[in-house]
Amino acid sequence: MPMEARAGNKIKKKGGADTKRFLPGGVRGGQRSAVDMFCYAIAVVATESLAIDLFGVREGTVSSLVDLQLARQAVPSGHFRNRWAHAVNCRSSLEEALSSDIANIEADVAWNVRPFGAPVMAHSSSSFSKDDFLFEAFLKMITDSAWVNRDGPKVIKLDFKSPDSVESCVVQVQRSRLNQTSAEIWLNADVLKGPGGAETNFVDPDWFISQYLDAGFRGKVSLGWTTSVLFGVDGYTEEMVSRMLQLVQKHELKADAVTFPISAFHAHQRPDAVREMLAPGYSVTFFGKVSSRNMRKWLEELRTEFPDRVFVDVREQQWAEWVELGALEWLEYLVAEVAHVLKCVWDSGAERERRRQTKEAHASAPHARASGSGRIR
């Protein structure tokens, strides 16, 4: 592999691609051609697929390179780091979270129906297999760890995907040592239909709230909406917020016992919805992807204004970690290299076509001259 040379934020490979040539941030020495931009777009897609498969990069990380210079300026240094360990649904993820300085753990709980009913750590229900991570094992790993006895606030958020798993998990937590520690237990479910979302599995939201009240946990009930990033561009409507507030007020829940998990993308479509949720004293927990400077700034302002009532469980933390580790620079370099190869292939094909046309032109030239000579004679 050829040697590499660095020059500030610019990486160049001897005989290879100039990263600045293919990045939208600007091209030195000329404008980008349509071919350059086409090759760059294909390179982003190819590189992201590779990065997701090999390195576990979040979807959209490489695509965000289309505004690389802006992203570098916008990432708040460590602002969203170490807030949450998200989707801790396997043993390795839980071991990593428990050995880190993360204080908040979020995990999905589904219901396994065969060959026997049991709650499992998964985003959706599945048939039982030897690889399933049972909630019972999840709970035991936490209670046996040093993490649960550390000083400072700790949260374990159980995101229920099926009503069938709720009661069993509540009983297990009540019988465990976890209920005797300082850790907060949050029970989460999408109980109403939200922006672009499907119908909820929790057809009786009152029942879910009653499960939380009967459990007597030290923690919050987290009541959310089903959502989809493909639809619901209007965000959380006034009607959606109103229905949720009426549900909470119906059960006379204390303000500090309620949090609303909301999609950062949808919430940013209608920011007034967030203030409508916060107005009675409740809290909100943002989840999803945060990739624009405006959205980051908006979240920072909300956290400053409501420091104890705005929680952040977003993909910003992974983005920031990649930037700090310098991986973003290498992804930029990789995208440029792929684009360079594609451009070379394109140019090679164009050059072959040009030579073919030139050869044909030269081949037909003698016949034309010969015909012309005959006429002169």
Same domain membership, residue 177 and residue 147: yes
What is the tens place of the pLDDT at every residue in 157-173? 999 999 999 999 999 99
Residue after which a domain boundary falls, among 279, 297, 317: 317
Give me the DSSP letters along 219-264. Answer: S-EEEEEEB-TTS-TT-S-HHHHHHHHHHHHHTT--GGGEEEEEEH
pLDDT above 80 for 317 = no
HSE toward the beta carbon, residue 23, CA cutoff 13 A? 26
Residue 374 tokens read as 């005959």
pLDDT in tens, 31-83: 456 666 666 666 666 665 555 544 444 444 444 443 333 333 333 333 333 36
The pairing of strands 155-160 and 221-226 is unpaired
What is the average pLDDT score of the chain?
A: 75
Domain boundary residue, one of 277, 298, 317: 317
CA distance 38 to 339: 9
Domain identity same for 51 and 167: no
Domain-located, residue 331: yes
* Alpha carbon distance, N-terminus to C-terminus of the chain: 64
What's the mean pLDDT in 176-196?
A: 92
Tell me: do 123 and 67 sit in the same domain.
no
Is residue 257 domain-resident?
yes
pTM above 0.75? no
Domains held by the chain: number: 2
Determine, yes or no, domain membership for 345: yes
**Per mean pLDDT, which of 48-57, 113-122, 135-144 is the most reliable?**
135-144
List the single range of 18-22, 191-195, 246-250 with lowest mean pLDDT.
18-22
Instruction: Looking at the structure, tell me whether residues 244 and 368 fall in a common domain.
Output: no
Same-domain pairing of 59 and 190? no
d(CA 165, CA 220): 18
Burial of residue 80 (number of CB atoms within 10 Å: 0-12, 13-18, 19+): buried
33 and 117 in a common domain:
no
The reply to whether 146 falls in a domain is yes
DSSP structure class, residue 9: T
| Between residues 355 and 56, the one the model is more confident about | 355
pLDDT on residue 124: 76
Shared domain check, 37 and 185 = no
Give yes or no: residues 82 and 214 share one domain: yes
Confidence of residue 361 (pLDDT cuts 50, 70, 90): confident
Q: Is the same domain home to 55 and 85?
A: no
**Using one digit for the tens of pLDDT, what is the confidence trace for 231-271?**
667 899 999 999 999 999 999 999 999 999 999 889 999 99
Looking at the structure, tell me whether residues 155 and 284 fall in a common domain.
Answer: yes
107 and 57 share a domain?
Answer: no
Question: Cα–Cα distance between 158 and 88 in angstroms, integer?
Answer: 10
Query: 78: how many CB neighbours lie within 10 A of its CB?
Result: 11
The answer to whether residues 194 and 225 touch, using CB atoms and an 8 Å cutoff, is yes
- Give a yes or no: residue 184 inside a domain: yes
Residue 63 inside a domain? The answer is yes
- Residue 109 · residue 135 · CB < 8 Å: yes
Q: Is there a single domain that holds both residue 346 and residue 306?
A: no
Pairing between β-strand 118-121 and β-strand 155-160 as defined by DSSP bridges? unpaired
Provide the pLDDT for residue 359: 77
* Span 90-105, pLDDT tens digits: 999 899 999 988 889 9
Cα–Cα distances (Å) from 99 to 24, 85, 246, 321, in that order, read 40, 11, 41, 18
Q: Cα torsion at 114, 117, 119, 120 (round to 10°)?
A: -20
Quick check: is 377 in a domain? no
**Is the pLDDT confidence value at 85 over 90?**
no
- H helices of the chain, where? 19-22, 34-55, 68-74, 91-98, 135-143, 166-175, 205-215, 238-250, 264-269, 272-278, 293-305, 316-325, 327-376
CA distances to 74, 84, 264, 290 from 80, in Å: 13, 9, 13, 11
359 burial type by CB count under 10 A (0-12 exposed, 13-18 middle, 19+ buried): exposed
Say which CATH number the domain at 203 has: 3.20.20.190
Q: Please, which pLDDT band fits residue 19 given cuts at 50, 70 and 90?
A: very low
Q: Is the distance from CB of 65 to CB of 23 less than 8 angstroms?
A: yes
Domain that holds residue 140: 78-317
Q: Choose the weakest-confidence range: 119-123, 139-143, 241-245, 363-367.
A: 363-367
Q: List phi, psi (to 5°) of 335.
A: -60, -45
Q: Is residue 289 part of a domain?
A: yes
Apex 101 CA angle, 98 and 104, nearest 5:
70
Q: What is the pLDDT of residue 33?
A: 61
